[in-house]
Amino acid sequence: MGMSVQTNMTAMFASRNVGSVTGKIAKSTEKLTSGFKINRAADNAAGLAISEKLRRQVRGLTQATANAQEGVSLCQVADGALAEVSSMLHRMTELSIQSANETNTDTDRSFIQAEVQALKDEISRVGNTTTYNERPIFGDIHGEPMRADKLVSSPAAASGHLTESYQTRDGRYHAAATLDFSKVNENNIGLLNGKSFTFTCSQSCDEAFKITFDYTIPYSDSSAENLLNRVEHRYVLGIKDLKSGSDIVNKLYEHVSHNMPNGYTPGTNGELHVSHSNVLSIMGGNKLAIYAETNYATKAEAERQFAGGAGKYGAVNSSALTGISIVEDNRDLWIHTGTENDTGLYVTIPRMNADVIGVGDVNVGTATGAKDAIDKIKDALAVISKARSDIGAQQNRLEHTINSNGATVENTAAAESRIRDTDMAREMVNFSLNNILQQVGQTVMTQANQSQEGILALLR
């Protein structure tokens, strides 16, 4: 390479490398002082995205673990209160057995009853006043008292005119009455025993179709009857072995479809034409729709047909079914134990007071009452023992959840650390190397600048 003054290529080369090394030193300094090897997205774009997801999981599970620990504390408070109730019931058992002994006088039994009454009052007080974080445990846990609700409900009136219902040719149903069985379960299905619903086909028949529920027989013993070859059809549906509202709707549909009277077959959309103008159909698994058979091209066409209010298609009567009331009492508390919106479990704390567990009317003032009290208190102890067992099982589940979350947090944090945290030993090696290169580069730049002085020798 020739000698020149204007362009010092050696100095330029050294300067470029010194600048590069200086940038590396700055990044190493940043990593060493912050402890992170990803301080901005540009450091590792993909690694940052993965790290943020892992960090979300770690922090979420940490809070979820705290939630589960709160649930354990709630269970411990409930179990402690129930343990004291159990002790009071044992004392009531002793008093009842004492009062049942014929060596006692009426005065003696009055004293015994006074203590029994005090124990009953204390049991109710525990049930009414035990709280956790100002939330009642055995009372109205969600701030709402128990309420009566319909076992079988209908958005329409209990008796609705089928002239207000129709099916359009697009297959959409517009039901006059919809029976909703979604709240039926194996604990309350027996309330349907002997209940029925009917609807007419026209003014000429009072009961074109009738379904009666029978809790004394299984579904396999269900029966069907066509009265004297007329349009009156009777079905008895055995529900003893059914467990839910969807079971009822599906088995009713199955039973009726297998015993359709002559001339009535399932429609193209699966609807059951159970009389010459009336139709049953399943809606959403738990609901039974009842509507008129006639198809219309549009809703407007159907409304024009029914504008006169003619009673051409009769009415449905489901008052017996929709008149059944059940008591709903939500005793479940959601404990959120994970990082997703549906990850967690319900902790159920039973309602508890003297009346609920069956000792509210215990009276040991007579020998007969004392003997009856022994059995009632025994049953109450069984209720409390089951409640404590259930609460203990829920507490164990929460503790396992806490352990599982802890292990997950540890392993996830380790994975996040490998992506995001600085390896201090390796980074110190890089920092030292770049420091040496920077010093060498600066020395070379000094030498390169001095090399231009050789040109002056040519001018001497």
The per-residue b/e assignment along 227-253, b for 16 or more CB within 10 angstroms, e otherwise, is eeeebbbbbbbbbeebebbbbbbebbb
- The pLDDT of residue 429: 77
Pull the structure tokens for residue 4. Answer: 């020149």
pLDDT at 241: 92
* pLDDT (mean) for 399-418: 91
396 has pLDDT over 60: yes
Residue 270 DSSP SS3: coil
Q: What is the mean pLDDT of residues 211-224?
A: 93
pLDDT at 38 over 60: yes
Residue 419 predicted with pLDDT over 80: yes
Could you give the percent of the chain with pLDDT greater than 90? 40
From residue 289, alpha-carbon distances to 189, 269, 276, 313 in Å are 20, 13, 17, 15
Tokens 């009052």 correspond to 121
Residue 157 confidence (pLDDT) above 50 = no
pLDDT digits (tens, 9 = 90+) for 311-338: 455 667 788 888 888 877 778 899 999 9
Model confidence pLDDT, tens digit, residues 192-205: 999 998 877 655 56
* Mean pLDDT score, 162-180: 60
Q: Which of 78, 68, 74, 89 is nearest to 388 (CA)?
A: 78
Query: Which pLDDT band holds residue 437 (cuts at 50, 70, 90)?
Result: confident
- pLDDT(138) > 70: yes
Q: Which of 35-49, 83-97, 126-140 has the highest mean pLDDT?
A: 83-97
106 Cβ contact partners less than 8 Å away, ≥ 6 residues apart: 365
Residue 159 has pLDDT above 70, yes or no: no
| Span 50-141+341-412 CATH architecture | Up-down Bundle (1.20)
Instruction: Please compute the mean of the pLDDT values over residues 412-421 and round it to a whole number.
Output: 84
pLDDT level of residue 417 (50, 70, 90 thresholds): confident
**pLDDT of 40 over the 80 cut:** no
**Residue 156 exposure: Cα atoms within 13 Å on the Cβ side:** 21
The mean pLDDT of 295-312, rounded to a whole number, is: 59
| Distance from the Cα of residue 151 to its chain's centroid | 21
By C-alpha distance, which of 288, 278, 344 is closest to 314? 278
Residues of the chain with CATH 1.20.1330.10: 50-141+341-412
Find the mean pLDDT for residues 283-303: 70
Q: What are the tokens at 373?
A: 């009290």
Does the pLDDT at position 309 exceed 60?
Answer: no
**Weakest-pLDDT range from 48-57, 245-254, 272-281, 346-355:** 272-281
pLDDT computed for residue 381 by the predictor: 94
pLDDT band at 271 (very low <50, low <70, confident <90, very high): confident
How many other C-beta atoms can be found within 10 angstroms of the C-beta atom of residue 324? Answer: 17
Name the pLDDT band for 173 (thresholds 50, 70, 90).
low
Cβ neighbors of 171 (< 8 A, separation 6 or more) are 269
Q: Which residue has the higher pLDDT, 457 or 93?
A: 93
pLDDT: which is higher, 161 or 134: 134
In the structure, what pLDDT confidence band is assigned to residue 181 with cuts at 50, 70 and 90? Answer: very high
CA–chain centroid gap for 219, Å, is: 31
Instruction: Tell me the pLDDT band of 67, cut-offs 50, 70 and 90.
Output: very high
